[in-house]
Amino acid sequence: MIPSRTNYQKVLGVARDLIQEDLLQVENHIAGVVQAAPPGIHERIDQLTQRKGKRIRATLLCMVSNMGESAPDRIRVGASGAAVEILHLASLVHDDIIDGTELRRGDRTAHVLWGNKIAVLIGDYLLSQAMRCVIEEKNPNIPVILSAAADNLISGEIMEIDFAGRLNLSYDEYIKVISGKTAALVDAAARIGAILAGFPADVVEECGKMGAHFGLAFQIIDDLLDYGVGAENLDKAKFTDIANGLITLPLIYYFKNCSETERSEMQILLAGAAQDKTSEEIIARLEKSSSFELAKNDALSHLEQAIQIAQKLPDTKYSETLAQFFSSVSARPN
Ligand code: FPP
Ligand code: MG
């Protein structure tokens, strides 16, 4: 069943209400990082952190951290939640330079505001601060997980750039890219939450798998939003993937199922996409060939697998809301 759009906002609201104290700690920790930054950095990261994202990664971490036998240590949850959000922000600052995008969270991107040189360094500072947030964490696995997630993000992004323009990109290669650039950090957020909940190693691993499935679904849907599929109030630019020669799941399905003539025609259309001359025609062909639908079905299958793991976790107050949230994500509007 595909839930309605309002459901997504509603369930996210219910989840946030359950963990509002923890999210407050996350925000306080982020504010502390901004306050402590030196001039030249302070004002800029202040501006970036004012544009509140959806805080999906911190929300997942906080929700899982509350599923243990006793309440988690809020200071540790706040620091770890801040770490994953700041790492995510660092990666977006760099990603917007790489993709050449001008709009993020409804505002001008860092490189548009301050130029590439400053934006690279702001991203570097944020990455360093993300690691600093967990440097004093008493469980040494937490900084190790976070640093491994950063490595995976970077590898995934490099793979994506290396693969750009390759029309014969395979399904497995695409999954490798998004496993690194997106799912790795969501996986890490869930595992860190599970450690803070005091779960044994096997449950920590299951939570990681749950996060990874959710992350894969999230990116497949994000790639559909880039075509405008299901997008309402999109707070970033459309068609950046085809303009940058990036082949995502709908095109992989299209090329798998099309004729030789259709392949050549699509190749010509993609060559014109950088000037946004052919985007509408590309969309019409992807729609007609059910390529969007096939990609959406894959996202739903990953969401289903995340839901199944969530439903096995203890403390139904949190785990059921999490499962409902996963289920609502297929209809996220931005
Ligand atoms: C958004 O993808 C980008 C990511 C999820 C990860 C980007 C990672 C890097 C730039 C590596 C550097 C990382 C660090 C740790 C500083 P997208 O372009 O598909 O999504 P979008 O539409 O939101 O831009
Ligand atoms: Mg991007």
| pLDDT surpasses 80 at 334 | no
CA–CA distance, 174 with 246 (Å, rounded to integer):
10
- Residue type, position 272, single letter: G
What is the pLDDT, as a whole number, of residue 333?
Answer: 62
In a domain, residue 26? The reply is yes
Confidence bin at 332 (pLDDT 50/70/90)? low
Q: Quick one: pLDDT band at residue 1, thresholds 50, 70, 90?
A: very low
> What Rg value do the Cα atoms of the chain yield, rounded?
20
| Protein residue with least CA distance to atom 8, ligand 1 | 91
186 ligand 1 Cβ < 6 A: no
The confidence score (pLDDT) of residue 293 equals: 95
Ligand 2 centroid to Cα of residue 101, in Å, is 7
What residue numbers bound the domain in which 230 lies? Answer: 8-331
Among protein residues, the one with the nearest Cα to ligand 1's atom 14 is 91
Write the DSSP assignment of 250-275 as a string of letters: HHHHHHHH--HHHHHHHHHHHHTGGG
How large is the average pLDDT for residues 166-175?
95
102 lines ligand 1 (CB under 6 A): no
123 lines ligand 1 (CB under 6 A): yes
Give the number of domains in the chain: 1
Pocket flag, ligand 1, residue 180 (CB < 6 Å) = no
Q: Tell me the ligand closest to 246's alpha carbon.
A: 1
pLDDT band (50, 70, 90) for residue 274: confident
Is the residue at 213 inside a domain?
A: yes
CA 138–ligand 2 middle distance (angstroms):
34
Ligand 1 centroid to residue 94 C-alpha, Å: 7
What is each CA distance from 184 to 54, 115, 279, in whole angstroms? 18, 29, 30
Please give the distance, rounded to the nearest whole angstrom, from the Cα atom of residue 92 to the centre of ligand 1: 5
Q: What is the CATH number of the domain that holds 171?
A: 1.10.600.10
Please tell me the distance from the alpha carbon of residue 9 to that of residue 120, in angstroms, as a whole number.
Answer: 33
Residue 20 contacts by C-beta under 8 Å, 6 or more apart in sequence? Answer: none
Most confident of 124-128, 245-249, 315-319: 124-128
Q: Is the shortest distance between the CB of 99 and ligand 1 below 6 Å?
A: yes
Query: How far is the centre of ligand 1, averaged over its atoms, from the C-alpha of 278 (Å)?
Result: 25
- To the question of pTM greater than 0.85 for the whole model, the response is yes
Check whether 231 has a pLDDT greater than 90: no
309 pLDDT higher than 80: yes
pLDDT category at 3 given cuts 50, 70, 90 is: very low
At 2, the pLDDT band (50, 70, 90 cuts) reads very low
Confidence of residue 237 (pLDDT cuts 50, 70, 90): confident
221 CA to centre of ligand 2 in angstroms: 14
Residue nearest to atom 20 of ligand 1 (CA): 222
User: What mean pLDDT comes out for the span 295-313?
Assistant: 96
Distance from C-alpha of 214 to C-alpha of 208, rounded to nearest angstrom: 10
CA of 156 to the centre of ligand 1 (A): 9
Q: Is residue 86 part of a domain?
A: yes
3-state secondary structure 164-176: CCCCCCCHHHHHH
How confident is the model at residue 23, as a pLDDT? 97
CA of residue 69 to ligand 1 center, whole Å: 35
Question: Which residue CA neighbors atom 19 of ligand 1 most closely?
Answer: 223
Ligand nearest to C-alpha 186: 1
* Any domain includes 1: no
Q: Is the pLDDT of residue 109 over 90?
A: yes
List the residue whose alpha carbon is closest to atom 10 of ligand 1: 95
| Ligand 1 neighbourhood includes 178 CB (under 6 angstroms) | no
Give the residue from 113, 121, 133, 54 showing the smallest Cα distance to 94: 121
- In b/e form, how buried is each residue of 253-263, taking b as 16+ CB within 10 angstroms? bbbeebeeeee
CB-ligand 1 contact for 213 (6 Å cutoff)? no
Residue 95 CA: which ligand 1 atom is closest? 10
